[in-house]
Chains A and B, each alone.
Chain A
Amino acid sequence: MKALPVIIAVAAAAALIRLWLRRRGRGGSPPVGAVAARLRGRGLLGDTGLVAWREIRERVRGRVFQVVTVILFAVVTAAVLIPTLHAGTTTSQRVGVVAGSAPVEAELRGLARSAGVPVELVSEPGLPQARAALGAGRLDMVLDGTGKILVNQPIAGSDTSAGARYVRAVSQALGAQHAFAQAGLTQRQAATVARAKPLPVESLQPGKKPRTTAEATALLGVILIFVVLTQYLTWTLMGVMEEKASRVVEVLLATVRPIQLLAGKVIGIGAVALAQAVALVVFALALAEAVGSSLVHGAAPLVVAAILAWLVLGYAFYSWLYAAAGSLAERQDQVQSMALPLSAPLIFGYIVSLIGVSSGAPSLLVKVLAYLPPTAPFAMPALIGFGDATWWQFLLSVAVTLGGTVVVAFAAAQVYRTAVLRTGGRVRLRELLPTLAR
């Protein structure tokens, strides 16, 4: 709420600047002033920046982006909230006790603690009153004083709720106590037997350790990278194809160089992708913090940073390829056949890394894939989640991927330059081999 005045002030300033610019635009001056205005107002990236800014503005305005963003935020919200809400649904068990005794009540409290279920014991004067309270929902179970447990609804064998687990535990424990009593054990003997611990069982192979927070974050990160890359790489592919199909590329290339147009598109769409991913991560962390979720809360900063870094690196590597593929096509059906071979290494890297993270131990394959540019964006975050990558391994993987990106970008720019102005059907890659050899 403290930020509200600042937000209002910024919005008002933006509106005033916009109004002022519009007023200036409406001045009615003839267009001859354009010559004097030339080469002013160029951004840091010049024409590339202008192209990138147009991409950002048009993409963010688009309905597809808005719908997908809402869906992604909804998914993240669900991923954070559902486990938390589920954990928080352990409601207190109200147990009615008829003709109870201190040892029985102590046993009931002990079992509740073991099961992690809050319990409230209610002493009932008689069975009819207890049954009435149970039927009315004021009690969850009743010990009827004759060695029976009453519940309102039958409990299915598949029911794993906290209440069902507690009823089973009480049933088992009190049943055992009843048996001990029948066997003539003293209270002390019965208590000793009841506290019996199972013998430890040891396996020769190492067991599966529980998933750490960093691993869980890496798992979510690999999924996030895949979802974001798939969406934005498709945009890059389609965007280039649509510019070619609508012939607008001819107007643009009459004044900007092909590499500027290509880079502007890649940077613009990449910026939207990164902004969306950062927003999702920040939102997830904030929400997890707010609701006390253990899912993302407490994630190692290195893992989160690595996920975002590999999202950028993965996009940088693949975006050039997808843009080049888009320049070869001028119809949607052609684009789909172009995208298939490009998406194969991406899907392979994703699935192998996902299996690695889910299995609890990274395989040798994941460790190898972490150093190949097409698969490193998935495999390296997985290794980082396991703590299986040192800083120099991380940097080596980044360096290899950056090197691969430079090579891919160079080849893609050559393909794009030649293919994007060729119309009249899909351009075959082999037609462009002489271009690539230059």
Chain B
Amino acid sequence: MAGLLELDNLSRRFGKVTALDKLSFMVPAGQVVGFLGPNGAGKTTTMRAIFGLTDLDAGSVRWDSAPVGPAERRRFGYMPEERGLYPNMLVAEQVQYIGRLHGMSAPAAASATTWWLERLAVADRAGSKVGTLSHGNQQRVQLAAALVHDPEALVLDEPLAGLDPAGIDAIGEVLVERAHSGRCVLFSSHQLDLVEDLCESVAIIDHGRLVASGTVDELAASGARRLAVRVAGDRQGVWARAIPGAAVSEVDGGEVRLVLDQAADSDVVLDAARSAGRVTMFVFERRRLSEVFREAVGS
């Protein structure tokens, strides 16, 4: 199964507020794509636009190069930010109902519901009313409702919010598994370390605009080179202060972190460190996703 979800030039204004500003990015099949941005950046509006829940002033959402319409959306799975379940409906019936609305026959919906409730470890609550479940279990049921019809594209708004570590592991595992079985998976989150662990790619938006995108590895390797150096017996890192093209960003317990510009020579840095004493650590560091994010949104 292969597919490509394309968001092309999406624009949307609410009065004087620009929610989406010519936003474009793609979600390829087989990848978990993290969708990041500060609060109010336009993530939820983007996801709602994929499902036609908000009108667009311009731009289009495409699936395999064709505009997304009701038939395509039926093959997508959606988990909104503010969870949407009938509190008085039984768990299994609710998931089956969503499956049926996505076009499944009654036996297929029943079978898939059983499978997913077991997979997400809520099978023992199948006969309970949704409103009686804990927040974490309701989240699992919501995910089951998004997955029951075996969607080709999965769009999840903050699926990990408020979950305990076991819940995060369970849902994270399912997202990776879905992507590896050839589905498109797009999910938003503010838990950047988790996104870094789960996602192959990310798209970062701010004020409705795309400010960074790419694979996690590309983004981590992008920008200025970073070095972490430790010299035995040195606590202040004075040796690093006057190296051309290298700026000290942090000195922590004798570990000196430097940001190198393009002209800087790492051999010069190593020589300077050796002149100060025995070098016990000399490592090029990857940027954390959180750093990429902060840099991209200017915070």
List chain A positions with a Cβ less than 8 A from chain B.
21-22, 24-42, 47, 50-51, 54, 58, 62, 243, 246-257, 421, 423
Determine the chain A residues whose CB is within 8 A of the CB of B114 once the complex forms.
Answer: 25-28
A256 (CB) vs chain B CBs: closest residue: B101
Determine the chain A residues whose CB is within 8 A of the CB of B86 once the complex forms.
Answer: 58, 243, 246, 248
Interface string of B45-86 (1 = CB under 8 A from A): 000100111100000000000000010011110101011111
Once the chains bind, are B80 and A34 in contact (CB under 8 Å)?
no
- Count B interface residues, CB 8 Å: 45
Interface string of B109-122 (1 = CB under 8 A from A): 11111111000000
Once the chains bind, are A254 and B150 in contact (CB under 8 Å)?
no
Once the chains bind, are A248 and B110 in contact (CB under 8 Å)?
no
A34 (CB) vs chain B CBs: closest residue: B150
A28 (CB) vs chain B CBs: closest residue: B115
Sample of 8 further A-B pairs with CB below 8 A, known A22-B110, A25-B113, A41-B108? A29-B111, A34-B104, A34-B109, A34-B112, A37-B109, A249-B84, A254-B52, A254-B80
Determine the chain A residues whose CB is within 8 A of the CB of B103 once the complex forms.
Answer: 37-40, 42
B233 contacts A by Cβ under 8 Å: no
Once the chains bind, are A248 and B101 in contact (CB under 8 Å)?
no
A-B contact pairs, 30 of them (CB 8 A): A21-B106, A21-B107, A27-B111, A30-B115, A31-B111, A31-B112, A31-B115, A33-B112, A33-B150, A34-B99, A34-B112, A34-B148, A37-B105, A38-B75, A38-B149, A40-B103, A41-B106, A50-B97, A51-B101, A54-B97, A58-B88, A246-B86, A249-B84, A251-B80, A251-B84, A251-B145, A254-B73, A256-B101, A421-B53, A423-B82
Once the chains bind, are B148 and A248 in contact (CB under 8 Å)?
no
Determine the chain A residues whose CB is within 8 A of the CB of B83 once the complex forms.
Answer: 247
Minimum Cβ distance to chain A for residue B96 (Å): 9
Once the chains bind, are B147 and A24 in contact (CB under 8 Å)?
no
Given the known interface contacts A29-B115, A54-B97, A421-B54, the answer about A248 and B104 at a Cβ–Cβ threshold of 8 Å is no
Determine the chain B residues whose CB is within 8 A of the CB of A423 once the complex forms.
Answer: 82
B87 contacts A by Cβ under 8 Å: yes
Contacting B110 at CB < 8 Å: which of A25, A50, A62, A249?
Answer: A25
Most buried by A among B82, B98, B99, B115: B115
B74 (CB) vs chain A CBs: closest residue: A255
Once the chains bind, are B105 and A40 in contact (CB under 8 Å)?
yes
Contacting B116 at CB < 8 Å: which of A31, A36, A50, A247?
Answer: A31
Q: Report the Cα distance A39→B80, complex, angstroms.
A: 24
Q: Report the Cα distance A248→B111, complex, angstroms.
A: 23
Determine the chain A residues whose CB is within 8 A of the CB of B98 once the complex forms.
Answer: 251, 255
Contacting A247 at CB < 8 Å: which of B82, B101, B105, B145?
Answer: B82
Contacting B150 at CB < 8 Å: which of A32, A41, A54, A249?
Answer: A32
Q: Report the Cα distance A33→B148, complex, angstroms.
A: 10
Determine the chain A residues whose CB is within 8 A of the CB of B150 once the complex forms.
Answer: 31-35
Minimum Cβ distance to chain A for residue B179 (Å): 15
Q: Which 10 A-B pairs have the closest CB atoms?
A: A37-B108, A25-B110, A41-B105, A34-B150, A248-B84, A251-B84, A247-B84, A31-B112, A254-B51, A40-B105
Contacting A40 at CB < 8 Å: which of B51, B85, B108?
Answer: B108
Determine the chain B residues whose CB is within 8 A of the CB of A255 once the complex forms.
Answer: 70, 73-74, 98, 101-102
A22 (CB) vs chain B CBs: closest residue: B110
Determine the chain B residues whose CB is within 8 A of the CB of A26 once the complex forms.
Answer: 111, 114
Minimum Cβ distance to chain A for residue B280 (Å): 52
B100 contacts A by Cβ under 8 Å: yes
Minimum Cβ distance to chain B for residue A130 (Å): 70
Determine the chain A residues whose CB is within 8 A of the CB of B85 once the complex forms.
Answer: 246, 248, 251
B150 (CB) vs chain A CBs: closest residue: A34
B89 contacts A by Cβ under 8 Å: yes
Once the chains bind, are B80 and A250 in contact (CB under 8 Å)?
yes
Q: Report the Cα distance A62→B88, complex, angstroms.
A: 9
Determine the chain A residues whose CB is within 8 A of the CB of B70 once the complex forms.
Answer: 255, 257
Q: Report the Cα distance A122→B249, complex, angstroms.
A: 123
Once the chains bind, are A254 and B53 in contact (CB under 8 Å)?
yes
Q: Report the Cα distance A53→B88, complex, angstroms.
A: 16
Determine the chain B residues whose CB is within 8 A of the CB of A54 once the complex forms.
Answer: 97
Once the chains bind, are A25 and B101 in contact (CB under 8 Å)?
no
Q: Report the Cα distance A31→B143, complex, angstroms.
A: 14
B87 (CB) vs chain A CBs: closest residue: A246
Determine the chain B residues whose CB is within 8 A of the CB of A251 once the complex forms.
Answer: 78, 80, 84-85, 98, 145
Most buried by A among B74, B88, B108: B108
Minimum Cβ distance to chain B for residue A244 (Å): 10
A35 (CB) vs chain B CBs: closest residue: B150
Minimum Cβ distance to chain B for residue A60 (Å): 13
Once the chains bind, are A21 and B73 in contact (CB under 8 Å)?
no
Determine the chain B residues whose CB is within 8 A of the CB of A51 once the complex forms.
Answer: 101
Q: Report the Cα distance A47→B103, complex, angstroms.
A: 8
Contacting B107 at CB < 8 Å: which of A24, A31, A42?
Answer: A24
Given the known interface contacts A31-B112, A32-B150, A251-B78, the answer about A246 and B97 at a Cβ–Cβ threshold of 8 Å is no
Determine the chain B residues whose CB is within 8 A of the CB of A29 once the complex forms.
Answer: 111, 115
Determine the chain B residues whose CB is within 8 A of the CB of A421 once the complex forms.
Answer: 48, 53-54
Minimum Cβ distance to chain B for residue A298 (Å): 44
Q: Report the Cα distance A33→B115, complex, angstroms.
A: 11
Most buried by B among A51, A249, A255: A255
Q: Report the Cα distance A26→B126, complex, angstroms.
A: 12
Once the chains bind, are B51 and A253 in contact (CB under 8 Å)?
yes
Once the chains bind, are A34 and B149 in contact (CB under 8 Å)?
yes
Determine the chain A residues whose CB is within 8 A of the CB of B97 once the complex forms.
Answer: 50, 54
B110 (CB) vs chain A CBs: closest residue: A25
Minimum Cβ distance to chain B for residue A337 (Å): 24
Determine the chain A residues whose CB is within 8 A of the CB of B53 once the complex forms.
Answer: 250, 253-254, 421
Once the chains bind, are A31 and B148 in contact (CB under 8 Å)?
yes
Determine the chain B residues whose CB is within 8 A of the CB of A247 once the complex forms.
Answer: 80, 82-84
Minimum Cβ distance to chain A for residue B116 (Å): 6
Interface string of B168-207 (1 = CB under 8 A from A): 0000000000000000000000000000000000000000
Q: Report the Cα distance A119→B291, complex, angstroms.
A: 105
Once the chains bind, are B101 and A24 in contact (CB under 8 Å)?
no
Q: Report the Cα distance A30→B115, complex, angstroms.
A: 6
